[in-house]
Amino acid sequence: MADTKISALTAGTPALTDTFPLQRGGTANFASSIGAIFGAFGIEASGFLVGDGSDGVVAKTLAETKTLLGVAELLNSGWVLVTDSWAYASASTITVPSGAASIYNVGMSIRWKQGGGYKYGAIKTVADTLLTIIVNTSYTVAEAAITDVAYTTSSVALGLPGRYTFTPSWTNLTVGAGTNVGYLSVVGRQIRLVGKFTFGGSSAVGTDPRIALPVDNVNSTLQFIGDAGYFDSNAALTYYGRMRSDGYFRYATTAATLLGVSATAPMTWATNDELVFDVAYNF
């Protein structure tokens, strides 16, 4: 087999015209040939020749190459390091270099730092130079420098929260002195919402209360997306119901008919009564 010329090396020793033998035979001979090439450049056989950005190459050790490519981070934790500059745009949006749609996708998780530990979020929308994350109250984008950026498509990447807190936003329901808690989790293009409203002294339930979904349902057809429950604390009785894809709640009668919630249905609301929900949908 004829010698093979290495023609993409920077000038010096070895020269651009030098050749190295690629031997026929088994793995040992091939390894010997590769070793001769790397040895000539004074680097370990497990190293790499990496483009220098100006039509040449530079020698990098395996560790240096991993750092350069973010491979070590990816293999060890599931995160892909980002070297681009990110900047604050709002509490839920980040300005990124042009071409974001060729790198990021809806449902990906991201992490970043702003002077302390990592912050996390899930991507809601991608524009050419702007990422919007699903609003949560666990982490927000501060008006400060952004560093240590990475993204992942894995739902179990190291450090990624299993869920975020969020505050359900209600229409036709006044929280008042009651409590209003929610949790959300994102796996790919599916989001799960779990929440509970507990009636307090100045709370009020109107006709057809609903919550604003933190991200739109990809299916525009009206459908039920999960369960709801209504606990009457005075009667120690729980009513079963469903939540619709437009955020409205329904409860089931004894005839299995689903009806709208109001100030007097499925019970007359009073202190310590509860409305709970557990729903999931694609976005």
Residue 203's CATH number:
2.60.90
pLDDT of residue 48: 65
Does the residue 158 lie in any domain? no
With a cut of 50, say whether residue 174 has pLDDT above it.
yes
What does pLDDT average to over the chain?
A: 85
For 51-74, what is each residue's pLDDT tens digit?
A: 666 766 677 776 676 666 655 555
pLDDT of residue 158: 95
- Please state, in angstroms and as integers, the Cα–Cα distance from residue 6 to each residue in 1, 29, 55, 273, following that order: 15, 18, 13, 77
pLDDT of residue 10: 42
With a cut of 70, say whether residue 94 has pLDDT above it.
yes
With a CB cutoff of 8 Å and minimum separation 6, the contacts of 59 are 38, 41, 42, 43, 47, 48, 49, 50
Between 104 and 255, residue with greater pLDDT = 104
CB atoms inside a 10 Å sphere around CB 242: 18
pLDDT of residue 255: 67
With a CB cutoff of 8 Å and minimum separation 6, the contacts of 181 are 165, 167, 168, 195, 196
With a cut of 50, say whether residue 11 has pLDDT above it.
no
For 212-243, what is each residue's pLDDT tens digit?
A: 999 999 998 899 999 999 999 999 999 999 99
Q: Are residues 42 and 88 in the same domain?
A: no
Count of the separate structural domains present in the chain: 3
Please report which confidence band the pLDDT of residue 183 belongs to, taking 50, 70 and 90 as the band edges: very high
DSSP character at residue 1: -
- 109-113 sheet: strands from edge to edge: 80-81, 147-152, 109-113, 118-126, 130-133, 93-95, 87-90
Q: Are residues 172 and 250 in the same domain?
A: yes
- Give the integer Cα–Cα distance in Å for 191 and 215: 8
SS3 readout for 17-61: CCEECCCCCCHHHHHHHHHHHHHHCCCCCCCEEEECCCCCEEEEC
pLDDT of residue 257: 87
Domain boundary among 69, 89, 117: 69
Backbone angles phi, psi at 49, to 5 degrees: -100, 120
Please report which confidence band the pLDDT of residue 32 belongs to, taking 50, 70 and 90 as the band edges: low
Please report which confidence band the pLDDT of residue 24 belongs to, taking 50, 70 and 90 as the band edges: very low
Q: Are residues 221 and 251 in the same domain?
A: yes
Residue 253: burial class (beta carbons within 10 Å; 0-12, 13-18, 19+): exposed
- Give the integer Cα–Cα distance in Å for 165 and 134: 11
- Give the integer Cα–Cα distance in Å for 150 and 118: 10
Domain boundary among 69, 86, 117: 69
Domain boundary among 52, 69, 86: 69
- Residues of the chain above pLDDT 90, percent: 70
Dihedral (Cα; 140, 152, 104, 213), 10-degree rounding: -50
pLDDT of residue 221: 87
Does the residue 92 lie in any domain? yes
With a CB cutoff of 8 Å and minimum separation 6, the contacts of 203 are 173, 174, 175, 176, 177, 178, 197, 269, 271
Does the residue 49 lie in any domain? yes
Please report which confidence band the pLDDT of residue 165 belongs to, taking 50, 70 and 90 as the band edges: very high
pLDDT of residue 4: 39
Two tokens, residue 188: 């790919």
Q: Are residues 16 and 111 in the same domain?
A: no
With a cut of 70, say whether residue 39 has pLDDT above it.
no
Does the residue 157 lie in any domain? no
Boundaries of domain holding 113:
75-152
Instruction: Count how many residues are written for the chain.
Output: 283
With a cut of 50, say whether residue 17 has pLDDT above it.
no
For 199-216, what is each residue's pLDDT tens digit?
A: 999 999 999 999 999 999
Question: Would you say 203 and 177 are in contact if contact means Cβ atoms under 8 Å apart?
Answer: yes
pLDDT of residue 131: 98
Two tokens, residue 60: 């990098």
- Give the integer Cα–Cα distance in Å for 208 and 193: 19
Q: Are residues 54 and 120 in the same domain?
A: no
Does the residue 220 lie in any domain? yes
Please report which confidence band the pLDDT of residue 253 belongs to, taking 50, 70 and 90 as the band edges: confident
- Residues of the chain above pLDDT 70, percent: 74
pLDDT of residue 77: 87
